[in-house]
């Protein structure tokens, strides 16, 4: 019956008998799998170990970065405390420069400065040559004025000479018109220096024009005094004249004199132009930084143009000298406005100290 059931394909209730070859093959497969299992476990362990090692390395790097930042903050805090709040002052200065768009103000200053330059020089030539009519001609005055411009002086002198030859004598009405055109740069300068102080009110139109006229008059008086000084020095006895020339011919004397004059001029501007009260000590630091910045930028930009590294002529052709002059005015204006914001930041820091006496 068992044979009949097996022949019919029905289950008999007994496991099938495996051959010896099948048994040996199964044993070898189990043995092989047992041998490969430690290798897979070792590979998985190695991968996991590498992942943990990378994670630990990243944690160490981030910890060192955060520690470095914390240490740097502590160092800056100590420097800020040791230097009387210089870090806070620099931060506020940069913040106010960005808020008041000093770069855009410098661009407008370059625009008005360029269009006011020729009328201003014409007014200077006419007034100085008229006051010193018997001593200096217009050509001599123009030649001496061009020494104050480090570059593009030949182009400016040539055009001004053509204008003076074409128009001849300048009447009172023409002189007033030139002075009105020349005052444009002073109004822009006044407005943007005043904006450095957050609580300062704007000047009204008539006061702004009056102050611009005062600045123009002071500039003309300074130029006349400079020309008179040069003429008086030429009239000195030979011995004294030689001593003066030797003293003024040293390499550092002209730069020192220009730096002192710039410092004095900026200090007066920072103290006088804002509509709020400014202390001399607050204006002094901005004036010092501004005078140093103007001197360094002028010397560096002059060297850059004379070194042949600039490509203004390749890009702008015959207008290269004008573009260089505009960029120079832009840089100087930006430095002047930055000095004003520095003075305002110093005032803000000092006036908000607990022991600061009330004005």
**Model confidence pLDDT, tens digit, residues 17-36:** 445 555 555 555 555 554 55
Mean pLDDT, rounded, of the chain: 75
- C-alpha pair distances (Å), 240 with each of 229, 254, 356: 14, 19, 51
Q: For residue 59, tell me if it sits in a domain.
A: no
pLDDT at residue 304, rounded to an integer? 84
pLDDT at residue 34, rounded to an integer? 47
Q: For residue 7, tell me if it sits in a domain.
A: no
Highest mean pLDDT among 18-32, 102-116, 231-245: 102-116
Mean pLDDT of 174-197: 87
Collapse the DSSP code of 15 into the 3-class scheme (helix H, G, I; strand E, B; otherwise coil) and give the result: coil
pLDDT digits (tens, 9 = 90+) for 39-67: 554 455 455 556 666 666 777 776 767 66
The confidence band for 10, taking pLDDT boundaries of 50, 70 and 90, is very low
The confidence band for 1, taking pLDDT boundaries of 50, 70 and 90, is very low
Q: For residue 305, tell me if it sits in a domain.
A: yes
Range in 18-27, 155-164, 211-220, 291-300 with the lowest mean pLDDT: 18-27
Answer yes or no: is pLDDT of 325 > 80. yes
**Parent domain of 173:** 95-240+251-351
**% of the chain at pLDDT higher than 70:** 60
Q: For residue 246, tell me if it sits in a domain.
A: no
pLDDT at residue 183, rounded to an integer? 87
The confidence band for 130, taking pLDDT boundaries of 50, 70 and 90, is confident
Answer yes or no: is pLDDT of 37 > 60. no
Q: Which of 257, 269, 270, 268 is nearest to 346 (CA)?
A: 270
Q: For residue 206, tell me if it sits in a domain.
A: yes
198 vs 69, residue with greater confidence: 198
Mean pLDDT of 92-103: 93
Highest mean pLDDT among 76-80, 184-188, 216-220, 266-270: 266-270
Q: For residue 26, tell me if it sits in a domain.
A: no
**Overall number of domains in the chain:** 1
Buried b (16+ CB within 10 A) or exposed e, 218-247: ebbeebeeebeeeeeeeeeeeeeeeeeeee
User: Residue 61 corresponds to which tokens in the numbers above?
Assistant: 């790097």
323 vs 255, residue with greater confidence: 323
Q: For residue 358, tell me if it sits in a domain.
A: no
Q: Cα dihedral sign for 249, 242, 130, 207?
A: positive
Answer yes or no: is pLDDT of 191 > 90. yes
pLDDT at residue 125, rounded to an integer? 77
The confidence band for 258, taking pLDDT boundaries of 50, 70 and 90, is confident
Alpha helices in the chain (DSSP H): 2-8, 20-82, 86-99, 102-131, 138-145, 153-167, 172-182, 184-194, 205-234, 238-248, 252-272, 280-306, 312-316, 320-351
pLDDT at residue 261, rounded to an integer? 87
Q: For residue 280, tell me if it sits in a domain.
A: yes
| CA–CA separation, 290 and 337 (whole Å) | 9
């Amino acid at each position: 019956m068992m044979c009949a059931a097996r022949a019919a394909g029905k289950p008999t209730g007994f496991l099938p008998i495996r051959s010896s070859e099948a048994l040996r093959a199964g044993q070898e497969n189990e043995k092989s799998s047992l041998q490969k299992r430690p290798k897979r476990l070792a590979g998985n362990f190695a991968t996991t170990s590498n992942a943990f090692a990378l994670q630990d390395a990243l944690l160490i790097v981030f910890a060192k970065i955060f520690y470095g930042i914390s240490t740097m903050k502590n160092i800056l805090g100590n420097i800020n405390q040791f230097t009387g709040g210089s870090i806070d002052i620099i931060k506020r200065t940069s913040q106010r420069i960005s808020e008041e768009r000093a770069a855009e103000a410098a661009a407008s200053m370059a625009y008005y400065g360029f269009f006011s330059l020729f009328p201003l020089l014409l007014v200077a030539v006419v007034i100085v040559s008229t006051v010193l009519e018997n001593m200096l001609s217009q050509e001599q005055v123009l030649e001496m004025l061009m020494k104050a411009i480090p570059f593009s002086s030949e182009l400016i002198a040539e055009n001004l000479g053509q204008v003076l030859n074409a128009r001849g004598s300048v009447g009172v009405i023409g002189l007033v018109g030139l002075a009105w055109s020349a005052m444009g740069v002073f109004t822009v300068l006044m407005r943007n220096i005043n904006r450095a102080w957050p609580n300062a009110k704007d000047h009204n139109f008539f006061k702004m024009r009056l102050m611009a006229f005062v600045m123009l008059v002071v500039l003309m008086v300074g130029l006349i005094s400079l020309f008179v000084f040069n003429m008086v020095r030429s009239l000195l006895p030979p011995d004294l004249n030689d001593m003066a020339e030797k003293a003024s011919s040293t390499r550092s004397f002209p730069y020192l004199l220009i730096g002192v004059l710039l410092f004095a001029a900026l200090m007066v501007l920072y103290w006088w132009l804002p509509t709020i009260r400014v202390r001399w000590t607050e204006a002094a630091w901005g004036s010092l930084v501004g005078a140093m910045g103007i001197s360094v930028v002028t010397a560096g930009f002059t060297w850059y143009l004379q070194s042949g590294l600039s490509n203004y002529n390749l890009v702008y052709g015959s207008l290269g000298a004008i573009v260089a002059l505009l960029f120079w005015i832009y840089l100087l204006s930006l430095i002047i406005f930055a000095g004003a914001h520095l003075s305002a930041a110093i005032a803000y820091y000092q006036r908000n100290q607990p022991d600061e006496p009330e004005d």
